[in-house]
Amino acid sequence: MFRTMLAKAAFLDRDGVINRAVVHDGKPFAPESVDAMEVLPGVPEALDRLRAAGYALVVVTNQPDIARGTTTWEVVNGIHARMRDALGLDDIRVCPHDDADDCPCRKPRPGLLLQAPHYDMPSSVMIGDRWRDIEAGRAAGCGVTILVDYGYDEAPPRDPDARVGSLAAAVEWLLQRHAAG
């Protein structure tokens, strides 16, 4: 009898980790159009390093502006098509709901991370820029949570494994940690 080994994943928040978030009054928001989406410096190289280290690259993103009627699936899908073409992501998982919808896939709940295909969660990492990301990673059983800390005007997450200034710094910390341990 053979057992299939589950792959490990790098779960990545979208706005603020992969692309530049639009910040208003200390709070991050999604870009309003495909043309406004800007991949952050160092992201392609950081993703290449994660891929080389054996991680599946899975974007997990709350997009409540769909439920609020301030953006469309067309815009969100256009941004994701551009990301897939430029970055070679393995999967992009979207929760289009607002908090009032009480959706199990809306971070901080773990639903987006636990959708099929399934990954080896204790070997996986969640990298995000908000408390919701860190809590979702913990709730899903990720072995590591890393906060890309922009000092947003909101409650900080409790005890991420690391606080860094960029995805590149998160990947460096993660790969050094694994090399040492």
| pLDDT single digits (tens) 2-35 | 445 679 999 999 999 999 999 999 999 999 999 9
Is the Cα dihedral 104, 106, 107, 111 positive or negative?
Answer: positive
Classify strands 8-12 and 125-128 as parallel, antiparallel or unpaired: parallel
Radius of gyration of the chain (CA): 15
Joined tokens for residue 68: 């609020």
Query: Using one digit for the tens of pLDDT, what is the confidence trace for 76-134?
Result: 999 999 999 999 999 999 999 999 999 999 999 999 999 988 899 999 999 999 999 99
pLDDT at 116: 84
Residue bearing the bigger pLDDT, 181 or 64: 64
Active site residues: 13, 15
CATH architecture, domain 8-180: 3-Layer(aba) Sandwich (3.40)
pLDDT at 96: 97
pLDDT at 180: 67
Q: What torsion, rounded to 10 degrees, do the Cα atoms 88, 124, 29, 21 define?
A: -60
How many alpha carbons lie under 13 Å from residue 176 in its C-beta half-sphere?
7
Classify strands 22-24 and 55-62 as parallel, antiparallel or unpaired: unpaired
Query: Using one digit for the tens of pLDDT, what is the confidence trace for 135-160?
Result: 999 999 999 999 999 999 998 898 99
Is it the case that residue 1 has pLDDT exceeding 80? Answer: no
Amino acid making up residue 102: D
CA dist 170 and 168 (Å) reads 5
Taking the domains of the chain in order of start, what are their residue ranges? Answer: 8-180
Joined tokens for residue 58: 């899975």
Contact assessment for residue 87 and residue 118, using Cβ atoms and an 8 Å cutoff: no
